[in-house]
Amino acid sequence: MRGVGSRAPRIWTASGLVALALVTLLLPLLGDGGFSIWRQIVAYILALACVGVLFHGLLSRWQDFPARTILALGAGAAALGFPAALLASPEALAEGPAMLSLSALFLANALRLLAACALAFALARHVTSGGVALLIAGVATVSDLFSVFAGPTRTLIQEDSPALDFLLLVFPTFGQPAGFALGVSDFIFIALFAATSRFLNLNYTFTITASLCATFLAMMCGLILSRPLPALPFISLSFVLVNASPLLVSLRKPR
């Protein structure tokens, strides 16, 4: 039984990577490239489901790993992931669903997701109370709203900065290799809140599921309003809502 349990995180991780590879390589080949809200919704769900499976596998597997080992792994993944993003630039993807650019897109996303999860996991070990978790959620929300509507993120988008190639993860949709994008920071906080819920014995399963659903909701709102919206406020709020009871209990405990 112990051997089976130890294999489960590897199976989840491998399944997430394989699913992400299939979505990245096959979705652009399906469809005529025309816009359909239903196909866009399916693309959102497929991409986020891959991330959820991958993050669950990584967070489960790293439970007993030293923080320095996780950080070293994340640094290595980031070092490889950001150059891969250059090969999967919007210009390269615009030339069509070529296998080379799609393979580079998969590697860029997979490696940066691993790096984001590693950083989040290491940071989560320093979240020692529900109060700290709530503070992080609040600060993250305010910072992201400012950044998107009046700060650095808005400036980068307006100037179409090349830095966006490194800071955004691009996912395909039906018939298009570049369907939509999410920031690396969004995935860091999805993993951070999920890992925090494990360390603080909160509602882990609900946390990671709600975070992904909140991200989907943010993208849907952006789709309806025809403008990108910051996903982090949605993610932070979902963490607070699904863990409201244990967080309140933690705050009421005498120090």
Q: State pLDDT tens for residues 187-233.
A: 999 999 999 999 998 999 999 999 999 999 999 998 888 887 889 99
Judge contact between 12 and 4, C-beta under 8 A: no
**Position 254 pLDDT exceeds 90:** no
What pLDDT is stored for residue 157 in this prediction? 60
Report the distance separating Cα 214 and Cα 159, nearest Å. Answer: 28
Average pLDDT over residues 36-51: 93
**Position 2 pLDDT exceeds 50:** no
What pLDDT is stored for residue 167 in this prediction? 78
Which residue's structure tokens are 């998107």?
148
pLDDT band (50, 70, 90) for residue 23 = very high
Share of the chain above pLDDT 70, in %: 86
**Position 4 pLDDT exceeds 50:** no
- Give phi and psi for 172, each to the nearest 5: -80, 165
What pLDDT is stored for residue 176 in this prediction? 87
- Token readout for 213 is 């659903």
**Position 161 pLDDT exceeds 80:** no
